[in-house]
């Protein structure tokens, strides 16, 4: 998975998901879940690279960051619960899909404040 379009298309395969561009900056495209409107997949370009932000369980956060150099603390988000994944081809598609699925599961199972 190397493109924003691939990530967004995969995100839209999850139940009750929809694409949103909530900011004045069209660079940010999100996949959210109805009816909570919580985002589980953020896409954007930064420094010439396509990136996605994904929610992650803190128990897995450091694992992903240690295994792949292109997994970093979440850009513009809580570093404890979010990772940024640079789509540079260094991570197998299956692993990226797994991280997206885990992000979806965490968002749909999260409690409302």
Q: Report pLDDT for 111.
A: 66
pLDDT for res 107: 95
Closest to 102 measured CA to CA, from 46, 52, 67, 66: 52
Q: Name 81's Cβ contacts closer than 8 Å, sequence gap at least 6.
A: 55, 56, 58, 61, 74
pTM: 0.92
pLDDT surpassing 80 at residue 64: yes
Q: What is the pLDDT of residues 98-109, one digit of tens each?
A: 999 999 999 998
Q: Would you say residue 1 has pLDDT above 90?
A: no
Confidence of residue 11 (pLDDT cuts 50, 70, 90): very high
Q: What is the mean pLDDT of residues 67-92?
A: 93
Confidence band of 3 (pLDDT split at 50, 70, 90): very high
Cβ proximity of 61 and 83 under 8 Å: yes
- Which pLDDT band holds residue 24 (cuts at 50, 70, 90)? confident
Q: What is the mean pLDDT of the chain?
A: 93
* Domains, the chain: 4-108 (3.90.1150.30)
């Amino acid at each position: 998975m190397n493109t924003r379009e691939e990530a967004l298309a995969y995100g839209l395969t999850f139940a009750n998901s929809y694409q949103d561009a909530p900011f004045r900056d069209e660079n940010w495209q999100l996949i959210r879940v109805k009816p909570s409107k919580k985002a589980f997949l953020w896409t954007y370009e930064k420094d010439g690279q396509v990136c996605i932000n994904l929610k992650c369980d803190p128990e897995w956060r450091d694992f992903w960051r240690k295994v792949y150099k292109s997994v970093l603390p979440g850009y513009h988000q809580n570093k404890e619960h979010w990772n940024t994944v640079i789509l540079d081809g260094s991570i197998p598609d299956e692993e990226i899909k797994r991280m997206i699925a885990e992000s979806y599961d965490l968002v749909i199972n999260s409690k409302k404040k």
